[in-house]
A = this chain, B = another copy of it.
Amino acid sequence: MTPRSAPAIRLLIGAATALGPGKVALLEAIGRTGSISAAARELGMSYRRAWLLVDTINDRFTAELVSTATGGKGGGGARLTATGIEVLRRYRAMEAKAQASIAPDLAEFADFMKDGPTIPASSEEE
C-alpha cells in the first residue's frame, strides 16, 4: 500500500447530530462571505437547502448562531453571532482534541482502508 497519512475524523455532536462537518462548513462559509447565498454557492448547495440548514442550526441552540438581515430570505446579509463564533471555536477545538486522542489508533486503522477519492470534508453522507 502506498504510504499516506492516517484518516481524519469528523465529529457529529448529539444523537440528533446537532452539529457536524456539513453544518460547520456552512457556518464557516457564512462567516467568511457574510451571505447565506454566497456560502451556499461556495459549498455547491442550493440556497434553499442552506437556508433550511441555518434555520435548523439556529433552532438547535439556545441562541441563534447566525443572524440574518431583514429581507435575508431574498439573499440579504447574514453573519455569525458571538454565540456562533464561540460554538465553532469549541467544535473545532473538540475535533482536534478527539483526533489527537486517537491518532495512533487511526494510523493503525488506516491499514484496513484503501485510499479513496477525496470528498469534501463537509460530506456527512453514509
> Do B113 and A102 have beta carbons less than 8 Å apart?
no
Give the interface centre of A61, A109, A111 by most chain B CB atoms within 10 Å: A109
A23 contacts B by Cβ under 8 Å: yes
Residues of chain A in range 99-126 having any CB-CB distance to chain B below 8 Å: 99-102, 105-106, 108-109, 111-114, 116-126
Tell me the complex Cα distance, A37–B11, Å.
29
Q: Could you tell me if A112 and B124 are in contact, using CB atoms closer than 8 angstroms?
A: no
20 pairs, CB–CB < 8 Å, chain A vs chain B? A1-B62, A7-B14, A8-B13, A10-B11, A12-B12, A14-B113, A16-B123, A17-B126, A18-B113, A18-B116, A20-B124, A60-B114, A61-B112, A63-B112, A83-B112, A91-B109, A94-B102, A94-B109, A101-B102, A122-B126
Excluding A8-B13, A13-B109, 10 further A-B contacts by CB distance (< 8 Å) are A9-B98, A11-B12, A15-B116, A16-B118, A20-B126, A62-B112, A63-B112, A91-B109, A94-B102, A97-B102
